[in-house]
Structure 1
Amino acid sequence: MTEEFHRIRRLPPYVFAEVNKAKAAARAHGEDIIDLGMGNPDSPTPSHIVKKLVETVADPRSHRYSVSRGIPGLRRALAGYYERRFGVHLDPETEVIATLGSKEGLANLASAITSPGDTILVPNPSYPIHQFGFIIAGASVRSIPATPDENMLRALERAVRHSVPKPTALIVNFPSNPTAFTASLDFYKELVAFARREQIWIMSDLAYCEIYFGDEPPPSILEVPGAKDIAVEFTSLSKTYSMAGWRMGFAAGNPRLIQALTRIKSYLDYGAFTPIQVAAVAALSGPQDCVAEIRDLYRERRDVLLRGLHAAGWDVPAPQGSMFAWAPLPKGLEDMGSVEFSKLLLKEAGVAVAPGLGFGEYGEGFVRIGLVENTQRLRQATRAIKGFLNKQGVKSAEAVS
């Protein structure tokens, strides 16, 4: 009985484990670690949402089992959000389901629609559940470019011609975790046309749609006429309202996919705790000033981080969305690899980042930096990074000029 279980064998060693182990050891020795490695919002949930939770939890009737697909008021609230934000009409009864965060929804839908040996198209690099949800379900994953442009579209055409069996589903995620890439509505139109022609399901992860820094807010794929024929979209309250620990998300779109997810979930859970669902209604339907404030907070942190890294001699592109910067390894240190760079940065500078390799083989050569500390701590982090890079022979911007 020493043989590893079949589904576990399909999961590679957790790339982040080495950095997490080193981080825990450093903290155990009393070291001050600035943790920019996990996308864990540090700002409090807006007070009116917390107030609604407290009010509801005081009612003992709310302590009973809920329903796995979400209370009717919550499904209506999500439909109302889509109508206001995207101009998309959703039927709360057939086209919306509440999930325990978007991650759970993605994984359970993968289980619902996947047969062993199916081919699934997933951007590389991408958030791990995008591929491993399907791998756990028995599928094979074919990597495609992560950029929302002609490179991805051409790769999709090649995948249809050369994959056996033909792909059954495609994952997209814009604004992206980890790359922070954003997609246009024109790109989604081409994607939907391709998927309808080839009869391929699309699963769009839109968890970061309210964390953007340009003038135009990111679109939903469901804005494209005919998208609901082949697409379902996952959203989350985790980042939009700083509710990560509440585990409240949604899937919306194609009724057949929503029904498949509903059926799977009916066997697995009774839904989120009812007071959390009621508070989520308050989040979606209440005042939205807090969303703009959270967005401004991340924009300020992004600008502070990038100024500090540039001064340290590390040229990092400015993300246009999400709560992450996707940073190529500093010049001269590329051969170190993302895991060793992350471990050394933690050891020498006391700053934790996520190695790009953890998001797929094409994430190698990058690290993901989370905007999850206040500006004072970010300035402290960039000063420590500057000292670390100087020791490694990377010249600061001042030295170069």
Structure 2
Amino acid sequence: MVHFAQRLSSLRSNVFADMDRAKAAARQAGREIIDLSLGSSDLPTADFILREIERSLWDRKTHQYLLFHGTQAFREAAADWYQRRYQIEVNPETEVLPLVGSQEGTAHLPLALLNPGDYALLLDPGYPSHYGGVALAGGEIHRLPLRAERGFLPDFDEVPPQVCDRARMMVLNYPHNPTTATASITFFKEALTFCDKYNMALVHDFPYGDLVFNGERPPSILQADVEKRRSIEFFTLSKSYNMGGFRVGYAIGNSELILALRQVKAAVDFNQYQGIFRGAIAALKSDETAVQGTVDCFRERRDVFIAAMQGIGWAVPTPKATMYVWAQLPEPWRGNSIGFCEALVQETGVAASPGVGFGESGEGYVRFALVRSPQVLTTAVERISVFLRKS
């Protein structure tokens, strides 16, 4: 019998894998699935990005392994993008690292920072890869509960001193998945002061920096830590540029953290195909026309979905950002988000993500991803209405 590592035990449950099984069972039963469970944009990648990738296919030099120094043009484009947007000087040689999406960064950075028994402070609810990376590194997790009455922001004063003394990193994520909450530069400065006090790395997962609907651009963590003393930020082109399938992003920030993550990455893989980076460069150098079109699309979907939910009597707050709606469950289901989502997809074909799958504090909520057209979203709410009347 093969013996497996104990670290696998903490990876057996995953909100997306669990819902994938539920969707498969519903399909087998003949249900037409409206999948609102996964934040994978259904919008197409812009033509000008695809043309750049297509041209690269015929450049034979792009068919080889791609090491760090071969990514210089992409790193320079990422540094220039940050400098234009946030007026932050960035060294593309020492302060930028290409990633296979931001998830690679959040999953691998704990391997560079944590020894077994060290703590990571993670948002609860939070994105599953934040938890998985700490588990793989043998670290301990201290959950920072997010509550609606605090705007889904953590209270640093609640962290026990004995945990702070053993903590090596704190992971934030605003605009936040799954709650859609946003954070101010004042909050980030408070987080930096807290991490300074206990000598922690401050990690910010920032995939939704463009997907905001009130006209205000959310801050980068580097605007709080301009000197990049202890902060690192992860950005992906999956959301802003609808490039999820191309798996391209980058880390930016403190040079020592970048180097440490680079060492881990070098032991795991090389880099993506050079043509993908060329497409990403075209995206980062473009004006914001394509990005604004994506934002406008998700704003319309948000408004249609919220209006439809309110029309069936389900009061749902209007999110300021992201591609999600974070909805408190009706009273009969308040303590059973998994049961609600499984029953919903089995009986109606509408798939959503149970709040508890993002952490203990997510129980009582459900996340809907606005990744279908307004017409389909309206149909989904009609099916939800029928389900609620029967349950």
**TM-score for both structures, normalised by structure 1:** 0.93
| Aligned equivalent of 1:10 | 10
The answer to whether the Cα contact below 8 Å between 2:203 and 2:233 also exists between their aligned partners in 1 is: yes
Q: Higher mean Cα deviation, 2-11 or 103-112?
A: 2-11
Residue 78 of structure 1: how far off its partner (Å): 0.5
Shift of 1:197: 2.4
- Is the 8 Å Cα contact of residues 241 and 283 (structure 1) preserved in structure 2? yes
Shift in Å at residue 160 of structure 1? 5.3
CA distance in 1: counterparts of 2:218 and 2:38, whole angstroms: 23
After superposing the two structures, state which structure 1 stretch, 383-392 or 372-381, moved more.
383-392
Corresponding position of 1:395: none
Q: Distance in 2 between matches of 1:201 and 1:352?
A: 36
Deviation of the 1:331 alpha carbon: 3.3
Count of aligned pairs between the two proteins: 390
Distance 1:227 1:329, change over 3 A: farther
Task: Work out the CA distance in 1 between the residues paired with 2:78 and 2:200.
Answer: 26
- Which residue identity is paired with 1:342? C
Q: Which segment is superposed worse, 166-175 or 25-34?
A: 25-34
Counting only pairs closer than 5 Å after superposition, residues 161-176 of structure 1 correspond to structure 2 as 161-163=161-163, 165-176=165-176
**Cross-structure match for 1:354:** 353
Whether the 8 Å CA contact 1:212–1:320 is kept in 2: the answer is yes
The answer to whether 1:343 aligns with 2:342 is: yes
Determine the C-alpha separation between the residues in 1 that align with 2:72 and 2:377. Answer: 42
Relative to the length of structure 2, the TM-score reads: 0.95
Which blocks of at least 5 consecutive residues in structure 1 are unaligned? Answer: 393-401
**Change beyond 3 A, Cα 1:135–1:227:** farther
Counterparts in 2 of 1:151 and 1:281: CA distance versus 1, 3 Å: closer
Please give the alpha-carbon distance, in whole angstroms, between the structure 2 residues aligned to 1:22 and 1:151.
29
Alignment of 1:56-135 (within 5 A): 56-68=56-68, 71-135=71-135
Task: Tell me the percent identity.
Answer: 38
For 1:1-400, list aligned pairs within 5 A. Answer: 1=1, 3-68=3-68, 71-146=71-146, 154=155, 156-159=156-159, 161-163=161-163, 165-226=165-226, 228-335=228-335, 337-392=336-391
Q: Distance in 1 between matches of 2:385 and 2:6?
A: 45
- After superposition, give the CA deviation of every residue in 1:310-357 in whole Å (9 maximum; x if it has no partner): 11111111111111111110233324x000000111122220000111
Change (3 A) 1:260 1:183: same
The change in CA–CA distance for 1:387 and 1:142 in structure 2 (over 3 A counts) is same
Cα pair distance change 1:42/1:93, threshold 3 Å: same
Question: Could you tell me how far 1:158 is from its partner in structure 2?
Answer: 4.0
**SS at structure 2 position matched to 1:383:** helix
Cα distance in 2 between the residues matched to 1:190 and 1:69: 36
Superposition deviation, residue 20 in structure 1: 2.0
Does the 8 Å CA contact 1:94/1:258 hold for their aligned counterparts?
Answer: yes
For the residues of structure 2 that align with 1:189 and 1:89, how far apart are their CA atoms? Answer: 19
SS at 1:239 equivalent:
helix
Q: Contact 2:16 / 2:37 at 8 angstroms: preserved in 1?
A: no
Partner-residue secondary structure (3-state), 2:166: coil
Q: Report what 1:397 is aligned to.
A: none
Separation in 2, partners of 1:145, 1:8? 25
Residues 116 and 138 of structure 1 are in contact (CA less than 8 Å); yes or no, is this contact kept in structure 2? yes
